[in-house]
Amino acid sequence: MARVFSGKRPENLKRTLKDLVSYIGRHRILMLFVAVLAAISAGANLLGTYMIRPIVNSVTDGSGFSGLIRGVMTAVLIYVVGALSTLGYTQIMVRAAQKILYDIRRDLFDHLQKLSISYFDKNKKGDLMSLFTNDMDTLSDALNNSFSTLIQSFVQTVGTLILLFILNTKLTFLVIIGYGAMFFYIRYSMSRSKYYFAKQQTRLGDLDGYIEEMVAGQKVIKVFNHENANLKTFEEKNKDLRSAGTSALSYSATMIPAVVSIAYINYAIIAIVGGLMVIRGSSDIGSLASYLVFARQSAMPINQLTQQGNFILASLAGAERIFEAMNEEPETDEGTVELVNVREQADGSLIPCKEKTGKWAWTDKGRSGDTDSYKSDKTDAGEGAGELIPLRGYVRFEHVSFGYDPGKDILKDISLYAKPGQKVAFVGSTGAGKTTITNLINRFYDITSGSITYDGIDLKRIKKNDLRRSLGIVLQDTHLFTGTVADNIRFGKPDASPEEIERATRIANADSFITRLPHGYDTEVTGDGANLSQGQRQLLAIARAAVADPPVLILDEATSSVDTRTEKLIEKGMDALMKGRTVFVIAHRLSTVRNADVIIVLEHGRIVERGNHDELIAQKGEYYQLYHGMFELS
């Protein structure tokens, strides 16, 4: 009998169907075969049942044994064709469904990677994962089962009604009355149970969230002996779920017995009335025998249509979430300036080359197909199309304002610069805008007003991939990928040789712990580095940045997760890495920024002080208070 789904129905059914049909259309030939074979299978079932009439009549009208054999053999042939058709469409449907799901899954993953960071900030990781798991699984079930079932059910429903009218028009009106009673009760039961199922789903979500929170906080719970209080809260939530579940199932559980009872009563009435018609000679016994089988089976395709209708609506709701993500506007990139390998000639000029020289330059290929040499001592970032501008790492902010939400600026009129080779440190309380500045350098977000230039080129003119290729970043929250230690370090430079990887780990002072791992650089990293300590994960992240050998380095709390001794080792390695590079440092520990060329103090999105350590201490301002008041910022 019809299942009741409490899941959300699609809000824009027309658009969702259009998107889904576009993927189904890519494999229209396979789907056409499925439709034809499913229709043949349903038609064979109908004709096989109809053959009861001539088989029974061949016995009662004196046609003899030969008539019986012909009828039986015809029925057997019909059922064989139906069985082969069923086998054919099920196998083809499996392949077609998997091809469609493969296309959707591939396009979804590809599109997500093109979305801006802001999209991932606004959407939970669990919701995005659910697109690939729950929603994709629901859509898979619908494609594998519902498409062919709908065709079969439609053919059987229409065919059954036609054959019922052909066999006995008068009795068919009794069948229709019985169907009316069934539909009335199904509609009533579904409307009532739908409300309670929605309530049950809400209660279940509350309980699941509470369980997840308690499991994650077991240490705190045990420290404060909070087990009994938690159990009481759990019992309350569990009781609410039980109450909602009981009410929902009370209605839905009556659906099957109620409809079956209506069907049995209707069948009994038809059998009695039909028998009387045979006795009176207004119908033959073969027609009645065939009719009774059709009447008994007629509820099945209607039930399937109702059931699949609900199931498909729930599946389309999942498909809608998938297509909504795929219809999100991808990250735009209007840049035309690219990063190219260059070779320096004897006169100091640069020329582009294909081989890797370790030297890079910017060129605006969007403005000119030809590339002129550009003197390496030229300081003007020039707007000349096609000129080669050496990659040096000169970053400048001019009156920059920015806010994640319209009308709420996080940064207000920020002006600063970092010359090639300078180490610039940002300090300030949480929310002052330190990390936001580094996010703007990466163009994870675009500024509201002002300008940012990189080697004199407006950041918006540089292609994002080329821009980010010139930057190295170590985040506070380290993320490692499934694979070996070497694979994770090589993430910063896919073509890095083993020698380059080892050099990067020595710079980050990570080689000592790596060589002590069971398989050294070939040790598998699991569960986002769960088999490594937090400090070791941070060292690998620093090595990953080191192997990329970028001209600009961004360290966002890079040493926040390591102890003081490890921090000193990292700093020694980082000093070698930072030599000749522009470095932006964000740190809570003021001791880590003492040797910075420039320290910028931020408060409420504004620069309140700037200078080196000695200058800021002499001013006895905000930095002085921070340095002498507390050594770590919260």
Distance CA 372, CA 385 (A): 9
Distance CA 517, CA 540 (A): 13
- In this prediction, residue 318 carries a pLDDT of 82
Report strand pairing: 606-611 vs 457-458: unpaired
- Would you report the helix, strand and coil content of the chain in percent, each value rounded to 5? 60, 15, 25
Residues 6+ apart with CB under 8 A from 435: 556, 586
Q: Residue 554's beta-bridge partner residues?
A: 473, 584
Residues in the chain: 634
DSSP tag of 385: T
Instruction: Of 99, 17, 18, give the one whose Cα is nearest residue 313.
Output: 17
The fold for domain 434-629 equals Rossmann fold (3.40.50)
Cα 109 to the center of its chain, rounded Å: 7
- In this prediction, residue 566 carries a pLDDT of 67
Distance CA 384, CA 360 (A): 18
Mean pLDDT per block of 10 residues along the chain (634 residues) reads 50 84 90 91 85 76 71 87 91 91 93 87 80 85 82 83 83 81 77 71 79 82 84 90 80 71 81 85 80 77 68 79 89 87 83 82 69 37 62 91 86 90 86 86 90 93 90 81 89 87 86 89 81 82 85 78 67 67 80 83 89 88 76 43
Angle between helices 28-50 and 52-60 (to 10 degrees): 20
Structure-block tokens of residue 629? 């008041």
Domain boundaries, the chain: 1-166+301-330, 169-282, 332-391, 434-629
Distance CA 143, CA 449 (A): 49
Instruction: Of 183, 324, 319, give the one whose Cα is nearest residue 255.
Output: 183
Three-state secondary structure of 13-75 = HHHHHHHHHHHHHHHHHHHHHHHHHHHHHHHHHHHHHHCHHHHHHHHHCCCHHHHHHHHHHHH
The fold for domain 1-166+301-330 equals ABC transporter transmembrane region fold (1.20.1560)
HSE-CB at 485 with a 13 A cutoff on CA atoms is 27
**DSSP reduced 3-state for 372:** strand
The one-letter amino acid at 632: E
- In this prediction, residue 3 carries a pLDDT of 45
Task: Give the Cα-Cα-Cα angle 492, 495, 500 (nearest 5 degrees).
Answer: 75
CB neighbourhood size of 356 (10 A): 9
Instruction: Of 118, 134, 151, give the one whose Cα is nearest residue 41.
Output: 151
> 403 and 409 in contact (C-beta within 8 Å)?
yes
Distance CA 120, CA 115 (A): 8
Phi, psi of 585 (to 5 degrees): -120, 130
Cα 461 to the center of its chain, rounded Å: 30
Distance CA 252, CA 150 (A): 23
Three-state secondary structure of 194-242 = HHHHHHHHHHHHHHHHHHHHHHHCHHHHHHCCCHHHHHHHHHHHHHHHH
Distance CA 52, CA 228 (A): 68
Full DSSP string of 527-580: TTTTTS-HHHHHHHHHHHHHHH--SEEEEESTTTTS-HHHHHHHHHHHHHHHTT
Distance CA 372, CA 378 (A): 13
- In this prediction, residue 546 carries a pLDDT of 85
Question: Which residue, chain included where needed, has tokens 């990067």?
Answer: 504
Ramachandran assignment for 131, one of left (phi > 0), alpha (psi -120 to 50 degrees), beta (any other): alpha
The per-residue b/e assignment along 545-563, b for 16 or more CB within 10 angstroms, e otherwise, is bbbbbbbbbbbbbbbbbbe
**DSSP reduced 3-state for 340:** strand
> 304 and 118 in contact (C-beta within 8 Å)?
no
